């Protein structure tokens, strides 16, 4: 069952161009050059109930604009979208009580008050029953290790603690849909991993439908089986993450260690040599021919150990954007 349906959704911004200087400022009072930019260009996708989808793209691709429209923060220029059967920008209270949006660069907690005060405020806004509030808060604060800082001013919390508190505030009313916009931005490696572990566990247990944007490919690889890639306001790819790798990535990396000295001339015939010493070699070989070439290497070279690796996902997607930019 599709929880989120997006059809031909567009968002166009209009702005005025003005040359610098006082004279041009005076001229702009009477005549201004009007320009438009398409932040989102008629995108289409659906998300099924309980699905966790990675929503990817470079800065300015239209990811956050799309999430804001789905959250009802922005009105689209044209097109339609429904979330849980509701049109988001109609801002019906029954819909607003069934979703949450967490933006890594925006705060919803009161900066000078303890996080608990914001939690109590959300309890009243979302009309959460007392027993449900206590039960949910106990569960979330335990899972996110927040019990010791609930009464500490938000401004005194570490960045990792603040993000976990932001996530707690967003989940207190047990939303059916969750939009996560860069939830791990600025966090250290340990905090990023803990956030990923929590999101994965929460999605598995609650079956909450989640759209995740992130510049950290580790987030997407760890959490999302499906990705929607958006670039310059349009959907570039929509499908399994593994399918993206097999569709775009045409090479594999082969790393070898040898039992004896092997000159470069002996390995160059098997593929592109990335690194070489007499006892080690790293090659890039065609994906379609990797099995045959590996078998030949094992027969002809004194190999002590060998590994075959996929290209890193972030490198693949970065190359997609570079190729697309050259084409345009």
Label the pairing between strands 78-83 and 2-17.
Answer: antiparallel
Residue 41 buriedness (CB in 10 A; 0-12 / 13-18 / 19+): middle
Residue 294 has pLDDT above 60, yes or no: yes
CB-CB contact of 22 with 68 (8 Å) = no
- Distance (Å, whole) CA 48 – CA 52: 9
Interval 207-211 mean pLDDT: 95
CB-CB contact of 115 with 149 (8 Å) = yes
Give the residue with greater pLDDT, 315 vs 194.
194
For the chain, how big is the Rg over CA atoms in Å?
25
CB-CB contact of 58 with 46 (8 Å) = no
Nearest CA-CA partner of 240 in 221, 217, 253: 221
The two structure tokens encoding residue 164: 């976990």
What percent of the chain lies above the pLDDT cut of 70?
Answer: 92
Residue 167 has pLDDT above 80, yes or no: yes
Q: What is the pLDDT of residue 174?
A: 93
Give the pTM. Answer: 0.77
Residue 328 has pLDDT above 60, yes or no: no
Mean pLDDT of the chain: 87
Q: What is the pLDDT of residue 246?
A: 64
pLDDT tens-digit map of 27-76: 777 777 788 888 899 999 999 999 999 998 877 788 889 999 999 999 99
Give buried/exposed letters for 55-78 (b at 16+ CB in 10 A, else e). bbbbeebbbbbbbbbbbbebebbe
Question: What's the DSSP call for residue 289?
Answer: G
- Rounded to the nearest angstrom, the gap between the alpha carbon of residue 268 and the centroid of all alpha carbons in its chain is 38
- Distance (Å, whole) CA 284 – CA 273: 7
**DSSP H helical ranges for 34-148:** 63-70, 93-96, 115-125, 130-143
Q: What is the pLDDT of residue 315?
A: 67
Please, what is the angle between helix 130-143 and helix 115-125, to 10°?
140
Q: Which domains does the chain have, with CATH numbers?
A: 2-11+41-240 (3.40.50.300), 250-310 (3.30.70.1150)
CB-CB contact of 55 with 226 (8 Å) = no
């Amino acid at each position: 069952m599709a929880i989120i349906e997006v059809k031909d959704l567009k968002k166009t911004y209009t702005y005025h161009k003005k040359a610098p200087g006082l004279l041009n400022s005076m001229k702009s009072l009477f005549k201004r050059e009007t320009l438009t930019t398409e932040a989102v260009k008629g995108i289409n996708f659906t998300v099924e109930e309980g699905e966790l989808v990675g929503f990817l793209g470079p800065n300015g691709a239209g990811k956050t604009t799309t999430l804001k429209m789905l959250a009802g923060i922005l009105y689209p220029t044209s097109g339609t979208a429904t979330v849980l059967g509701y049109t988001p920008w109609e801002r019906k209270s029954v819909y607003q009580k069934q979703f949450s949006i967490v933006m890594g660069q925006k705060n919803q907690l009161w900066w000078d008050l303890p996080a608990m005060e914001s939690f109590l405020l959300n309890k009243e806004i979302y009309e959460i029953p007392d027993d449900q509030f206590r039960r949910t808060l106990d569960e979330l604060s335990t899972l996110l290790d927040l019990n010791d800082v609930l009464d500490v001013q938000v401004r005194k919390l570490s960045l990792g603690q603040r993000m976990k508190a932001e996530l707690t505030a967003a989940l207190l009313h047990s939303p059916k849909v969750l939009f996560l916009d860069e939830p791990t931005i600025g966090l250290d490696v340990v905090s990023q991993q803990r956030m990923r572990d929590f999101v994965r566990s929460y999605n598995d247990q609650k079956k909450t439908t989640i759209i995740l944007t992130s510049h950290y490919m580790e987030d997407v690889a760890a959490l999302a089986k499906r990705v929607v890639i958006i670039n310059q306001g349009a959907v570039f790819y929509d499908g399994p993450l593994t399918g993206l790798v097999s569709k775009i990535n045409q090479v594999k990396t082969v790393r070898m260690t040898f039992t004896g000295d092997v000159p470069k001339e002996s390995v160059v015939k098997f593929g592109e040599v990335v690194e070489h010493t007499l006892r080690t070699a790293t090659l890039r070989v065609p994906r379609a021919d990797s099995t045959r070439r590996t078998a030949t290497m094992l027969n002809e070279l004194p190999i002590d150990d060998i590994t075959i690796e996929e290209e890193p996902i972030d490198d693949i997607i970065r190359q997609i954007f570079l190729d697309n930019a050259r084409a345009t």
